[in-house]
């Protein structure tokens, strides 16, 4: 492990646990839906046994709905797999747009609990060489700060801007009177050779591209 | 007598599937994806059981449970959660839940709980009626 990861080991585990718990809740919801839809198939079978006519169209629709749930659950597992593999390497080239897409997908449930919408927009391709796990931890903390301090629209716009020497991640639509971001956000940014700036209802994470 | 049930969950697909299965079994079912809307519905209709997801957007499930019980003390609330622990169960009961189930919950178990909820509510309503009559009798000195 790198010294930066060591420095944030305890908090990193808490982050890992929070995201894992959220994923498990999402999967439980999908399983609950699949369970009821499978029950509907059983009900159709029982009604057919009693002589009631089966509607092929209804059965096909039910099959489609089941497949749709399986696809949703599969996507949650894909995200979980990508999240789990963040710790494979202490440093590698990371596509910031992909990193953001993953963390936004993992934070959708947290956002929903707060009735805030996360919106990815203005995404420019940018790569940085960094610790993938600490980067996602930084993004998670930044998104959680934004979710705790949404502006009146309750919509947080998230973007990636590629500059020559740095990549800028912006979270806009924050409350005007929000408190300063927590110190941990600054610490994580520094560990990743980055900086946190806050003002004009926007949080900006700048990461060196050199 | 057919049971009257209100299902509250933010997953529309879950509500659609479960409500359809309940309706084919003769249960009168209303649904809502919002705890706030469900509270209004509970004020305007008489439900034997409210099946409530513990984690819903914007509202703490236990707070919603308290609100349901404040407005209608005799209504029976069954909480559904993705992760049932003993601690959460105790907390739910302290707040007045009739029962506490982990998702995915099978329909026979839910139906059994709904029947119990209806019976429990009837006993409470009858007791209230008896108490009222008793008060009237005492007041009139009969």
Instruction: Provide the pLDDT for residue A101.
Output: 97
**pLDDT tens across A105-143, in order?**
999 999 999 999 999 998 999 999 999 999 999 999 999
Q: Which residues on chain A are in Cβ contact (under 8 Å) with B104?
A: 28, 31-32, 34-36
Cβ separation of B82 and A37 shorter than 8 Å?
no
pLDDT at position A75, please? 97
Residue B3 has pLDDT above 90, yes or no: yes
Average pLDDT, chain A: 94
SS3 A201: coil
ipTM of model? 0.85
Identify the band that residue A8 occupies on the pLDDT scale cut at 50, 70 and 90.
confident
User: Which residue of chain A has the CA closest to B61?
Assistant: A113
What pLDDT does residue A125 have? 94
Judge whether residue B98 has pLDDT over 90. Answer: yes
Q: What is the pLDDT of residues A133-179, one digit of tens each?
A: 999 999 999 999 999 999 999 999 999 999 999 999 999 999 998 99
Cα dist from B93 to B72, B74, B88, whole Å: 16, 14, 9
pLDDT one-digit tens code per residue, B30-83: 999 999 999 999 999 999 999 999 888 888 888 899 999 998 888 999 999 887
Q: Is the predicted pLDDT of residue A81 greater than 80, yes or no?
A: yes
Measure B136 CA to nearest chain A CA, in Å.
48
**CB-nearest partner of B104 from A25, A32, A43:** A32
Given this model, what pLDDT does residue B67 score? 92
Tell me the residues of B at the A interface, defined by beta carbons under 8 Å apart. Answer: 10-11, 13-14, 17-18, 20-21, 24, 55, 57-58, 80, 82-83, 103-107
Output the furthest CA–CA distance in chain A (Å, rounded).
73
Residues of A in contact with B10 (CB under 8 A): 112
B21/A32 Cβ within 8 A? no
pLDDT, position A210: 59
- What is d(CA B142, CA A144) in angstroms, rounded to the nearest whole number? 66
Partners of residue B58 in chain A, C-beta under 8 Å: 113-115
> At a CB cut-off of 8 Å and minimum separation 6, what does A3 contact?
none
- Give phi and psi for A57, each to the nearest 5: -65, -40
CB contact under 8 A, A36 and B103: no
With CA atoms as reference, the chain A residue closest to B56 would be A113
Mean pLDDT of chain B: 91
**How much is the pTM?**
0.87
* CB pair distance less than 8 Å for A29 and B82: yes
pLDDT band at B6; cut points 50, 70, 90: very high
pLDDT > 90? residue B90: no
Q: Which pLDDT belongs to residue A6?
A: 81
Cβ distance of A36 and B107 shorter than 8 Å:
yes
Whole-Å CA distances, B1 to A53, B26, B27, B65, B123: 27, 9, 9, 25, 15
Q: Is A71 in the B-facing interface, judged by CB distances under 8 Å?
A: no
Q: List chain B residues with CB under 8 Å of A65.
A: 13, 17
Distance between CA B54 and CA B62 in Å, rounded? 7
Whether A64 shows a pLDDT value over 60: the answer reads yes
Is the per-residue pLDDT at A92 higher than 70?
yes
Question: In this model, does residue A1 exceed pLDDT 70?
Answer: no
B10, B14, B57: residue with CB nearest A36: B14
Q: How far is B92 from chain A (nearest CA, A)?
A: 18
CB-based contact A35 B106, cutoff 8 Å: yes
Distances (CA, A) of B95 to A149, A164, B90, B110: 30, 57, 9, 20
Does residue B92 carry a pLDDT above 90? no
């Amino acid at each position: 492990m790198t010294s930066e990861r060591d420095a944030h080991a305890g908090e990193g585990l808490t982050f890992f646990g929070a995201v894992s718990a959220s994923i498990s809740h999402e999967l439980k919801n999908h399983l609950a839906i699949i369970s009821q839809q499978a029950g509907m198939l059983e009900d159709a079978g029982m009604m057919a046994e009693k002589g009631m006519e089966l509607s092929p169209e209804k059965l096909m629709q039910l099959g489609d709905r089941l497949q749709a749930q399986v696809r949703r659950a599969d996507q949650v597992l894909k995200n979980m797999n990508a999240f789990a593999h963040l710790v494979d390497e202490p440093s590698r080239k990371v596509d910031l747009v992909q990193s953001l897409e993953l963390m936004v997908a993992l934070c959708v449930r947290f956002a929903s609990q707060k009735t805030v919408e996360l919106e990815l927009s203005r995404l420019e391709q940018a790569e940085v060489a960094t610790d993938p796990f600490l980067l996602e931890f930084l993004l998670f903390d930044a998104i959680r700060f934004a979710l705790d301090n949404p502006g009146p629209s309750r919509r947080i716009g998230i973007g990636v801007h590629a500059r020559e020497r740095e990549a800028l991640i912006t979270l806009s639509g924050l409350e005007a009177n929000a408190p300063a971001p927590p110190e941990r956000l600054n610490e994580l940014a520094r560990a990743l050779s980055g900086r946190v700036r806050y003002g004009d209802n926007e949080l900006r994470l700048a990461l060196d591209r050199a | 007598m057919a049971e009257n049930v209100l299902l509250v969950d933010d997953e529309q697909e879950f509500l659609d599937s479960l409500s359809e299965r309940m309706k084919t079994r003769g249960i009168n079912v209303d649904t809502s994806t919002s705890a706030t809307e469900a509270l209004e519905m509970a004020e305007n209709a008489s439900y034997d059981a409210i099946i409530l997801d513990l984690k819903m957007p914007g509202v703490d499930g236990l707070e919603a449970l308290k609100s349901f019980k404040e407005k209608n003390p005799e209504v029976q609330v069954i909480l559904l959660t993705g992760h049932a622990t003993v601690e959460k169960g105790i907390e739910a009961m302290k707040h007045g839940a009739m029962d506490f189930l982990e998702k995915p919950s099978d329909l026979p178990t839910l139906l059994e709980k709904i029947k119990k909820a209806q019976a429990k509510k009837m006993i409470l309503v009858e007791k209230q009626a008896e108490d009222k009559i008793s008060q009237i009798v005492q007041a009139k000195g009969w």
